[in-house]
Amino acid sequence: MDEDKNSFLNEFGGAYGYPNGPKSIDEIRATEFKRLDGLVYLDHAGATLYSESQMEAIFKDLSTNVYGNPHSQSDSSSATSDIVREARQQVLDYCKASPKDYSCIFTSGATAALKLVGEAFPWSRESCFTYTIENHNSVLGIREYALDQGATAFAIDIEEFAQDKASMRVLQHQAQRRNEAKFHQDELTGDAYNLFAFPSECNFSGFRFSLDLVEIMKEDSARILEGSPLCKGHWMVLIDAAKGGATEPPDLSQYPADFVVLSFYKLFGYPTGLGALIVRCDAAKLLKKTYFSGGTVAAAIADIDFIKRRKGVEELFEDGTISFLSIASVSHGFKILNSLTISAITQHTTSLAMYVRKVLLSLRHENGARVCKLYGVPVSKVLRHEFGPSISFNLKRPDGSWYGYREVEKLASLSGIQLRTGCFCNPGACAKFLGLSHTDLLSNIEAGHVCWDDYDIVRGKPTGAVRVSFGYMSTYEDAKKFVDFVKVSFVALSNQTASLYEFKQGDETRLSAAKVSLRSIIIYPIKSCAGFSAERWPLSSNGLFYDREWVLTSLTGEILTQKKVPEMCFISTSVDLNLGILFVESPRCKVRLQIKLISDSDNGVREEINIHGRRYEVQGYNNEVSIWFSTALGRPCTLSRCSSSDYKFCSKKNKNTGMCRDVQSILNFANEAQFLLISEESISDLNNRINKRDAQKGTEEASFQVNPMRFRPNLVISGGEPYAEDGWRNLRIGLKYFGSLGGCNRCQMINIVHTAGQVQKSNEPLATLASYRRVKGKILFGILLRYESSDEEQDNDIWLQVGEEIHPNCIKLQEKWNSSCIV
């Protein structure tokens, strides 16, 4: 056992690993989670994992028993009713809720349970919906029902909650009302029903809220609301335990909340699409049900306004046939948790979270600056138990600027670590901990930022965070691999080697005396399909003639690429300029498709599509072409061709656009630029580094070699030093001039390997590139170019030829760029 683990066990050994359980954590991982070998899964707050024995028990149960629709009297229906009854009791037992006081309503998830409360709650214009600022969007959605019924809604921020309840400090946010009609305080009767909602554990920060809030709101709401007239009436309390329930389910025998919501896939991984609403029986009587369905009525008459609703709480609110086979699976999940015990699971997961928090807070750059900013955890409380097994943070560079959370997620994935980034559907907590004002949030939205996009830094501020979270099957090794990943990837130390890219970029003096020439020309007529090589090829204002001039789309209009449809690589293309035909072949199609470059007639529909913020007018093809490509890909799709004459931008008009990306010149369906240039010498250096990393890992497999075609270049060059192209501002190939738009940011697509008709994914070469080619969140390899045609040149007169000599950093072209754009 290594020294680091010994140190961890000395501090947390009594809590870690289930020392008194039926299996140790190492035995659990070895027997129940073999699929995690080589993978670190740290998104248990999003969804925890099911065990092998759990799924085996479920399969045995379903394969040996017959469960029928419970809305009947048959034996199979009775068997279903029995397992549903047992499952309800298990849910109540999990939260120590007496069946005399509480009922369990099964729903399609925790969100559906919250929606049910919002829809059926007895709102009035005197009602108030109050909620902690740290709440999931699914809780905030209840606000819509309250406001629509004329009620008031407002958030509170619990700034401090000590053991002494009287010391609680609360910040009340602005009240919201949709009904502009005002009423005086003396008009309030005090008979309205109000709802207070809070999470047992914040899914953003991991902070565990005190369940004493239940008693305080029910018995002394005036203290929280500081004498506001809105505190009048009867207060009911909702606990969102979807996140916190996995490690600390609320004890309803001590904290009698009116509503508690649970999500089973967050408790034990399976089933998904099933949740529960635990509701106090007296609170259930106040809920107003409008819709009725099969199973919720005792009798109904079709042609008159008559229904007789069922009296049972569960029967009344469970619309239609419940997901009884999923419910049958619940008992097998609870069996796992009960065998380990919730207290042991809490201790185990908390010990891992405390260890990671401690290490992250200790990290320093070489200049002494902190590396990590933890959210919701004051330094003085890092080793206290007020937090669940979730850690939210962002990382900083030595100069104090932020690493983007998408960069962290991307590199973590390359290291076999699965984590979560963003705001985790908790906008209040996100804004609070990131220090984002309403103005900041609205400005970010105006800048185009929405949930799940790549805008991780806007105006110098993070728009979200990184979150790691632990489950009952997490190990010390998981935690250690994660903190080591952070140290290696984001901590700047004095003995680290500078990025090769950083000291070569823009270095015009490091030009090799060796001859540099054009080795290959590759054209990709159909976006994301295989291309073909040519000894010579004509240039146009769009780049290479016919390069990425066609695109495949789904029937819903989605652009198809190899990222989502890797099989596109098996569609081969070639263009015969003499015959004027695009030839397309696929191993799934017997006939080679022929498409005329110049159509005799326009037999396709013209329409507009949007790609990467650019609008294109495209021409479609007949049904025969669509059937061919649908067969080739095994999914319905259509082929479209760019009508380039209808999409033009003059490269001289916008003089305020820099050289970072090709937003000025004419493009077909290329992502960023007309050309991608790759150097054979750079590829060779990359392969050497990959093999060296493999040797250090002790990998016994054959040497890994990356082919230049893995990067889908248009131009492959030979000669000179590795990465010399990084410093090229422009270049001349023969008598043709090209401007450099900078390095090409690489993505997971280059990790897709096509061998023997199969598509496989690996971590290379992106993992190795990330170790030495990473610059401010981007992993750069190759350079992007645009063709600088002169006014005198005609498109059909200009050709590129393999073997032509390349001359970097031409003074003539630099003078042209300086006069036409700001560099």
* Gap between the Cα atoms of 277 and 114, Å rounded: 8
Please name the helix (run of DSSP H) or strand (run of DSSP E) that holds residue 67, with its range, or none: none
- Residue 498 near residue 440 (C-beta atoms within 8 A): no
* Gap between the Cα atoms of 143 and 505, Å rounded: 53
Burial class (CB within 10 angstroms; exposed 0-12, middle 13-18, buried 19+) of 653: exposed
* Gap between the Cα atoms of 150 and 122, Å rounded: 12
Q: Which residue, chain included where needed, has tokens 């669940």?
A: 388
C-alpha closest to that of 40 among 344, 480, 422: 480
Q: Which residue, chain included where needed, has tokens 């609360």?
A: 170
| φ, ψ dihedrals at 436, nearest 5° | -95, 120
* Gap between the Cα atoms of 66 and 193, Å rounded: 45
Annotated catalytic residue, options 425, 430, 529, 637: 425
Question: What Cα–Cα distance (Å) separates residue 71 from each residue in 61, 324, 622?
Answer: 21, 11, 51
* Gap between the Cα atoms of 220 and 215, Å rounded: 8
Helices (H), 375-526: 405-414, 427-434, 438-446, 476-490, 500-504
Contacts of 404 (CB under 8 A, 6+ apart): 456, 457, 462, 777
Indicate if 425 belongs to the active site: yes
- Per-residue three-class SS string for 324-388: HHHHHHHHHHHHHHHHHCHHHHHHHHHHHHHHHHHHHHHCECCCCCECEEECCCCHHHCCCCCEC
Give the chain's end-to-end CA distance (angstroms, integer): 56
Tally of CB atoms within 10 A around 347: 19
Instruction: Specify whether the backbone of 273 is left (phi greater than 0), alpha (psi in -120 to 50) or beta.
Output: left
- Residue 259 near residue 83 (C-beta atoms within 8 A): no
Tally of CB atoms within 10 A around 514: 12
Tally of CB atoms within 10 A around 788: 19
| Residue numbers annotated as active site | 425
